[in-house]
Structure 1
Amino acid sequence: MSEHDETRETDAHSGTETTGHEWDGIKELDTPLPRWWLYIFYASCVWAVIYWVLMPAWPALPGLAGETDHTRGLRNHSERANVAEALDALAEQRAVGFAALEGASIGEIENDPELLGFVLAAGETVFRDRCGTCHGVGGQGFVGYPNLNDDVWLWGGSYDDIRHTLQVGIRSEHPDTRFSQMPAFGRDELLSRAEIGEVTDYVLSLSGTSADAGAISRGQAIYDSQCASCHMADGRGDRAQGAPSLTDQDWLYGGSREQIMASIHRGPYGVMPAWEDRLEETTLDALAAYVFLRGGGEDATAGPTGQ
């Protein structure tokens, strides 16, 4: 028997030598690794070496591996190049659709199944990438971000209105941005808390919610002097100013009494970026058409050319 065998104890139950390690009476067996596992391990080592040679793998000091900071590999593989090639191929594929979209009216798009499919696909891609974070991937909106699926539009719902809003943004840095500003009646101490409560009751009454008659009467006087110039005397709003209608049940910042009071107190100031310098003209066409077609767009005779 060898010296190795003489110094090791053999487990009586399994017949396997122990390593000599013992914890609380539990002895560690020196069980050999399965051959299939060893073969896979050795094959993995061989594959790793082959990968190191063929593919970009090892960090390197600038100058030692060309213009990059890593070895290029014999295949000179680059995922950046692959992505750029895929984007170029996609742009070439979409060029036909964008060319067909140019100058087409909404009616022509709706009556051309192929063009309609292209607009919905291209527009949805841009919408999910650029707009979904705020408006939701389905355009359903959230508190402070308008729902784009209904017929309620702050600045107009025709194709031209939607496209212009996308182009210049709302309260953005674009020189022609759509701009409106509701005063912060409470924060700037233009109205007392009691007056804000009374005008809130009157605003709620415009949309059919009952409130104290005395508060409504006092609130109407405040509304006429402070709010009617933008929201109009009948509360139906003014799209030219981006002033919402107060006569329906659609509330951008919430329709409870507390939420309306908070809006009057602080004067909401939502911002939408201008996409003119971020998207190509034809991409803006597709995005505007997508928003128009999936939501409550108005004036279906208007088209990308404004005709």
Structure 2
Amino acid sequence: MPIPGHDLDGVIKGVDFLLNANLGYRLSIGKRVVVIGGGNVAIDVARAALRQQQALTLEALSSTLLPDSLTPTEQEIAMKELMDVSRAALRMGAREVLLVCLESREEMPAFGEEIDQGLEEGLKLRPSLGPKQFVGQNGKLTGVETIRCKSVFDAQHRFNPTFEAGTESVIPCDTSILAIGQASDLSFLTPADGVETTRQGTVKIDLETLMSTAPGIFAAGDIAFGPRAVINAVADGKKAAEQIDRYLLGEKWQPRPKYIQITVLDHHQMSATFDEHSRLPVPVLPVERRTGFTEVEIG
């Protein structure tokens, strides 16, 4: 993010944070964290930061409060009590994770259920704010200066945020984690390659064949379409492989037959009112048992 202070100690990238947290590395993120972004990655980062803080709190408390020798039952009871203490401290504001994003609550691209679960775990939202600069002292981050975002998109629904002058304020924090998306690094391309790019910073391709403007060079996934879900990249990879095979074989290429077998059951009857019933909610782990990267949905 090219704004003043982005190189301060304490400003880190969301993907780097998730990678290190998932690998189990100890991360010193302080008591107050500001996550910048409004998508699913930003929510993941914020929830991981909450759990990281909770884990460090439990470790610190257990090292000072728990006796050296406990039975398994005593250990379980003690850890439950410590968990209650840490959650109470979080509720009292001793440890906070705030998510700052340009979008309003309704415009946030993150899935609604992800946002709701984050709020349930203690995440605090600060929508309609944009980061103006990172502030610090002696090379260390001390806060994020934000400005009120009036709108994110223009009349043509293009990303073109506008801000309200005079609404600047500083959110004190120990760490700021950037989760505002990623862009493809196309610096390796040269004019001699013949590979054209788009205004969005992606490789220009034929949507049917996925071939670039240079014969024999194909592109797929985010580098061709921009940020999307992993499953889209997997599908692109399969399509690209088929088109590369076709390009190399030329006239010898034959499409592989695609069969879909459908079995029609004539003995199964749905209830006449089945579509009137609401979908059952997916069972999830209780908040107090969500630690690290434990899977939340258990249904």
For normalisation by structure 1, the TM-score amounts to 0.20
More helix by share: 1
Q: Higher relative contact order at CA 8 Å, sep ≥6: structure 1 or structure 2?
A: 1
* Bigger radius of gyration among the two: 1
More strand by share: 2
